[in-house]
């Protein structure tokens, strides 16, 4: 790939940047370019930030009010001069005028500010309901007018398809083409999509296609992508941090003999058989944060005789310990309908952050086979890794990177460290009317679900729509049974109903509607309220989730009281995390809660701290894991490169 000089204006395919623009791994830290906005330090109060930028924004609005705007001349100036005060103002003027004409919408100053900051390679925190989708489209349109291939990265496939279709009139009126990547598309279908000016897709789809481009293409086929010029990321903290906890891997089935594969399956069967003989107390420990289990010395002594009697690998202590640790993890740490689904005889992983099925993702080191055997499914063939990359390394390869989210400020230090981008917050257009109720705590899950059913009846009587956020598919279905017993009509949105997501979300804002959802409703979900719902007091959200970060808590609360509307939220916590015997930490936390409060009373500050402390520790642990994963990914890439070089050019 060509590495242009720092004086290059805009990274796009061509003689200067190469046919496939891509930022090298060891490039200098990404720096902001000179855009017309004044320097806006992160500590600057939101109203001051907008006030400093308003003169320039007014200039763009004045240009948009002119009767004649020459679109070809604007594109030529952008491609020739790059992003300057004059060219960006002119491009914004075109976007303003066309948006009003095609969509009947008026871009607000906060949206214009966010769009321009994204072009300046910054991440923008913008409150939910403030029009992030349109701000993203404005930034994408200005970059595409300059000839830059734009990848708009969305939180899920539903949003990619929705936004590409909804905003197509805007892009077409500007002389731009737009399309979206669907998971079922073949390489022959994807290639013309990536040839469009603006492409909407999920992060995993683009990253996997990038990995496929890095592999040798059959019969000299051209690459799928046109390089990594500009990525605009919606829900940036979710993609750049929360989803960056596992590497993306392209693998293929190993070409082993049938006898070897049968031997592997026999070993996994034996591992499950031995693991079932272990006792709950003392033989193994479960790490709920990592969703893993490990054998204790007591468990090792308890099982060593039976294991060595099997012979073979079971007489090797280190390998025996690893195999039994994986088997205990499969049996006790990973639960059906919480970490995975079983559909049509296949095990499908669930994304713990979004609640959606993680299409194509499998557990490694034989864990996936153990889960299949545990659930009575036909084991899949073992695989070998052909290529892998993490989001940390992938998104740093874009020459320009920007994004939006409603929750970024808590993670600004980590984002700057991993991706060389700053975080800036833009103010809300209208004051928030959200009302936060007291946090309640319940001793058991059943008590909480019965209380939720009572609250649902109250909301229906008032004519207010209700959204209830749950942790897992299992929890959502358990709550659904309580609502059915109470005679409350409701709708469930989890990974089993992912095909009906659009219809469920469209109806969630109707007066008296009760919607039970997993984390699928936490991000990128715009619940539109009808007039009766608004008059009754807006959407009410009951937060029943144990999220790994404060950002995820804010996302669920952000579903209500959008754009200055009325709305309310409250958090209902269950002291018992699971039906398993409590860990020492859980026991201490439960005692603290029960000693400080009466059942269903508000939490004292002392108990609130004890509940938030595990979340704070988990945030730190996840950040350390992401850094460790990046280091491991870099090491794997170096070893893979050395292996390819040793095999020669024909490899």
Per-residue confidence (pLDDT) for residue 303, from 0 to 100: 86
pLDDT value at 445 more than 70? yes
- 590 pLDDT more than 60: no
Residue 414, in any domain of the structure: yes
| CATH number, domain with residue 340 | 3.90.1440.10
Does residue 307 carry a pLDDT above 80?
Answer: yes
Same domain, 244 and 305: no
- Specify if 17 maps to a domain: no
CA 564 to chain centre: 26
494 with 409, same domain: the answer is no
Task: Return the CA Rg of the chain.
Answer: 26
Domain identity same for 456 and 599: yes
Q: Are residues 246 and 259 in the same domain?
A: no
- 279-283, 291-295, 398-402, 593-597 — most confident range: 398-402
Specify if 227 maps to a domain: yes
Claim to verify: residue 231 and residue 84 sit in the same structural domain: yes
Structural domain includes residue 587: yes
Q: How many contiguous H segments (helices) and E segments (strands) does the chain have?
A: 23, 20
- State whether 421 and 439 are in the same domain: no
Q: Within this chain, do residues 525 and 572 fall inside the same structural domain, yes or no?
A: yes
pLDDT of 548 strictly over 80: no
Pairing of strands 440-442, 346-349: unpaired
Residue 604 — pLDDT band, cuts 50, 70, 90?
A: low
The domain spanning residue 196 has which CATH number?
3.40.50.300
Examine residue 628 and state whether it is found in any structural domain, yes or no: no
Domain co-membership, 500 together with 559: yes
Taking 60 as the threshold, does the pLDDT of residue 58 lie above it?
Answer: yes
Per-residue confidence band for 37, with pLDDT thresholds at 50, 70 and 90: low
Secondary structure string (H, E, C) spanning 42-91: CCCCHHHHHHHHHHHHHHHHHHHCCCCCCHHHHHHHHHHHCCCHHHHHHH
Residues 233 and 295 in one domain: no
Q: Is residue 25 part of a domain?
A: no
642 occurs within a structural domain: no
Residues 590, 506 within the same domain: yes
Q: Which of 152-161, 194-203, 257-266, 375-384 has the lowest mean pLDDT?
A: 257-266
Tally of domains within the chain: 3
pTM score of the predicted model:
0.77
CA distances from 577 to 19, 444, 602 (A): 53, 9, 19
CB neighbours of 262 closer than 8 A, spacing ≥ 6? none
3-state SS of 525-579?
CCCCCCHHHHHHCCEEEEECCCCCCHHHHHHHHCCCCHHHCEEEEEEEEECCCCC
- Domain ranges, residue 267: 255-381
pLDDT of residue 651: 47
Convert the pLDDT of each residue in 89-143 to its tens digit. Answer: 999 999 999 999 999 999 999 999 999 999 988 999 998 878 899 999 999 999 9
Share the mean pLDDT of the chain.
Answer: 83
Residue 356 and residue 288 share a domain:
yes
| Domain end position, chosen among 425, 448, 478 | 425
Per residue in 331-385, pLDDT (tens digit) is 988 888 888 888 888 888 887 666 667 766 777 778 888 888 898 888 877 666 7
Last residue of a domain, one of 372, 403, 425: 425
Task: Determine, yes or no, domain membership for 5.
Answer: no
One domain, residues 457 and 604: yes
């Amino acid at each position: 790939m060509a590495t242009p000089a720092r004086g290059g204006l805009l990274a796009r395919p061509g003689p200067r940047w190469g046919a496939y623009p891509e930022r090298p791994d060891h490039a200098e830290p990404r720096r902001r370019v000179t855009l017309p906005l004044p320097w806006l330090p992160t500590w600057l109060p939101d109203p001051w930030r907008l006030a400093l930028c308003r003169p320039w924004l007014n200039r763009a609005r004045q240009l948009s009010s002119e009767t004649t705007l020459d679109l070809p001349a604007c594109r030529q100036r952008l491609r020739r001069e790059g992003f300057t005060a004059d060219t960006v103002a002119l491009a914004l003027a075109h976007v303003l005028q066309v948006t009003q004409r095609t969509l009947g919408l008026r871009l607000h100053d906060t949206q214009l500010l966010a769009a321009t900051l994204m072009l300046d390679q910054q991440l923008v925190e913008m409150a939910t309901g403030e029009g992030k989708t349109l701000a993203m489209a404005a930034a994408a349109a200005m970059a595409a007018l300059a000839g830059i291939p734009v990848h708009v990265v969305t939180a899920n496939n539903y949003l990619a398809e929705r936004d590409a279709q909804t905003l197509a009139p805007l892009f077409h009126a500007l002389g731009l083409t737009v399309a979206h990547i669907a998971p079922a598309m073949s390489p022959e279908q994807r290639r013309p999509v990536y040839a469009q000016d603006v492409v909407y897709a999920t992060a995993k789809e683009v990253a996997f296609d990038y990995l496929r481009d890095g592999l040798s293409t059959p019969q000299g086929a051209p690459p799928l992508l046109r390089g990594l010029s500009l990525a605009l990321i919606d829900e940036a903290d979710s993609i750049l941090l929360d989803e960056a906890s596992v590497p993306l891997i392209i693998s293929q089935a190993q070409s082993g003999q049938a006898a070897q594969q049968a031997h592997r399956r026999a070993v996994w069967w034996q591992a499950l058989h031995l693991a079932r003989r272990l006792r709950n107390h003392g033989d193994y420990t479960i790490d709920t944060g990592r969703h893993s289990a490990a054998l204790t010395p007591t468990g090792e002594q308890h099982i060593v005789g039976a294991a060595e009697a099997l012979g073979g690998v079971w007489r090797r202590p280190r390998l025996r310990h690893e195999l039994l640790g994986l088997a205990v993890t499969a049996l006790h740490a990973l639960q059906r309908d919480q970490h995975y689904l079983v559909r049509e005889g296949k095990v499908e992983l669930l994304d713990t952050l979004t609640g959606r099925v993680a299409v194509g993702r499998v557990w490694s080191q034989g864990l996936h086979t153990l889960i299949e055997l545990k659930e009575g499914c036909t084991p899949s063939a073992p695989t070998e890794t052909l290529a892998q990359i993490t989001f940390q390394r992938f998104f740093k390869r874009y020459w320009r990177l920007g994004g939006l989210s409603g929750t970024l400020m808590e993670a600004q230090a980590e984002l700057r460290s991993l991706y060389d981008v700053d975080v800036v917050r833009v103010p809300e257009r209208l004051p928030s009317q959200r009302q936060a109720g007291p946090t309640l705590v319940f001793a058991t899950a059943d008590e909480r679900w019965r209380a939720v059913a009572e609250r649902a009846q109250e909301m229906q009587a008032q004519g207010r729509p209700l959204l209830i956020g749950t942790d897992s598919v299992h929890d959502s279905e358990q709550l659904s049974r309580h609502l059915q017993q109470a005679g409350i009509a409701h709708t469930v949105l989890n990974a089993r109903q992912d095909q009906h997501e659009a219809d469920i979300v469209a109806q969630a804002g109707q007066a008296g509607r009760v919607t039970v959802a997993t984390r699928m409703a936490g991000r990128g979900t715009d619940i539109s309220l009808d007039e009766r719902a608004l008059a009754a007091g807006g959407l009410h959200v009951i937060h029943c989730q144990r999220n790994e970060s404060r950002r995820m808590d804010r996302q669920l609360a952000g579903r209500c009281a959008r754009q200055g509307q009325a709305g309310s939220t409250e958090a209902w916590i269950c002291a018992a995390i699971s039906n398993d015997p409590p860990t020492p930490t859980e026991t201490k936390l439960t005692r603290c809660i029960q000693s400080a409060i009466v059942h269903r009373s508000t939490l004292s500050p002392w108990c609130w701290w004890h509940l938030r402390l595990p979340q704070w520790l988990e945030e730190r642990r996840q950040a350390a894991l992401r850094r460790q994963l990046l280091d491991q990914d870099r090491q794997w890439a170096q070893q893979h490169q050395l292996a390819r070089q040793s095999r020669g050019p024909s490899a």
